[in-house]
């Protein structure tokens, strides 16, 4: 069983640039969620995708957008990067409808904005 | 507004003793609670959960207690082992879905 994989693991961008982060979900999982973990904080829910549609969004501006593909992999796009976007971005997959809330996380993509 | 709070940023416990990690929440609509464990350079991994219809759930060395009236839950680890050293996050959701609200974490260090 393949786990959740994310790429890239680390990247550095400058303010105003755009970034795309990628995630392959665990085999058999149909739901992908993205979380932002700032230094010293817990993960914060950005949004969730189910069957290629956004299925809930946290308190993040529209410049955070996403996609889910037919194979359930996903992308997180952030436009007009700000210094505060520096964080670990975690992708998590799950099987919707289980009612357990259990997520399977990847190792994350660490974004530094200079 | 921090709906899930872990007020102890760190905790040190002697190997073999009990570790107790605490978590408080403010949103009474939460009905499912989870604990995740995170090692450096790894993503969080699911540890144990509890539904609001229960007050206790056990899995081996790990037990989670839920006090709904106090909006408080705790994770007990007995006996504590060096491999338990990690950051522990408490999380909550509504309807048992996967949109989790996390606390800020407690760094547990087990002293050999």
Question: In this predicted model, what pLDDT tens digit does every residue of A58-80 receive, in sequence order?
Answer: 999 999 999 999 988 999 999 99
Task: Give yes or no for residue A1 having a pLDDT over 60.
Answer: no
> Would an 8 Å CB–CB cutoff place A94 in contact with chain B?
yes
Question: Between A4, A31, A106, which is nearest B98 by CB?
Answer: A31
> Would an 8 Å CB–CB cutoff place A5 in contact with chain B?
no
Q: Digits of tens for pLDDT over chain B (112 positions)?
A: 789 999 999 999 999 999 999 999 999 999 999 999 999 989 999 999 999 999 999 999 999 999 999 999 999 999 999 999 999 999 999 876 788 999 999 999 999 9
- State which residue of chain B sits closest to A34, comparing Cα positions: B99
> Would an 8 Å CB–CB cutoff place B91 in contact with chain A?
yes
Determine which of A10-14, A49-53, A87-91 has the lowest per-residue pLDDT on average.
A49-53
- For chain B, positions 15-54, list CB contacts with chain A under 8 A: 32, 34, 36, 41-46, 49
* C-alpha distance from B103 to closest chain A C-alpha (Å): 5
3-state secondary structure string across chain A: CCCCEEECCEEEECCCCCEEEEEECCCCCCEEEEEEECCCCCCEEEEEEECCEEEEECCCCCCEEEEECCCCCEEEEECCCCHHHCEEEEEEEECCCCCCCCCEECCCEEEEEC
* C-alpha distance from A61 to closest chain B C-alpha (Å): 17
d(CA A16, CA B59): 47
Q: What residues in A contact B45, CB-CB < 8 Å?
A: 105
* C-alpha distance from B64 to closest chain A C-alpha (Å): 15
**CB-CB under 8 Å, A106 with B98:** no
Q: What is the pLDDT of residues A9-43, one digit of tens each?
A: 999 999 999 999 999 998 888 899 999 999 999 99
Question: Between B34, B41, B96, which is nearest A107 by CB?
Answer: B41
């Amino acid at each position: 069983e393949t786990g959740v994989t994310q790429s890239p693991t680390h990247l550095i961008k400058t303010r105003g640039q755009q970034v795309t982060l990628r995630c392959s979900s665990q085999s058999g999982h149909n739901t992908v969620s993205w979380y932002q973990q700032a230094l010293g904080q817990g993960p914060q829910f950005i949004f969730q995708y189910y069957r290629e549609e956004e299925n809930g969004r946290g308190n993040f501006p529209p410049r955070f957008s996403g996609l889910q593909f037919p194979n359930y992999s996903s992308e997180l796009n952030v436009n007009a990067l700000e210094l505060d976007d520096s964080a670990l971005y975690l992708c998590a997959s799950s099987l919707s409808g289980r009612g357990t809330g259990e997520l399977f996380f990847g190792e994350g993509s660490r974004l530094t904005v200079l | 507004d921090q709906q899930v709070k872990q007020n102890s940023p760190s905790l040190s416990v002697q190997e073999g003793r009990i570790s107790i990690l605490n978590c408080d929440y403010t949103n009474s609509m939460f009905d499912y609670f989870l604990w995740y464990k995170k090692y450096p350079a790894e993503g969080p991994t699911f540890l144990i959960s509890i539904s609001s219809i229960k007050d206790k759930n056990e899995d081996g060395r790990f037990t989670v207690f839920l006090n709904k009236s106090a909006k408080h839950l705790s994770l007990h680890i007995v006996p504590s082992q060096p491999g338990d050293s990690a950051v522990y996050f408490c999380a909550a959701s509504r309807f048992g879905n996967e949109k989790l609200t996390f606390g800020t974490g407690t760094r547990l260090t087990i002293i050999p």
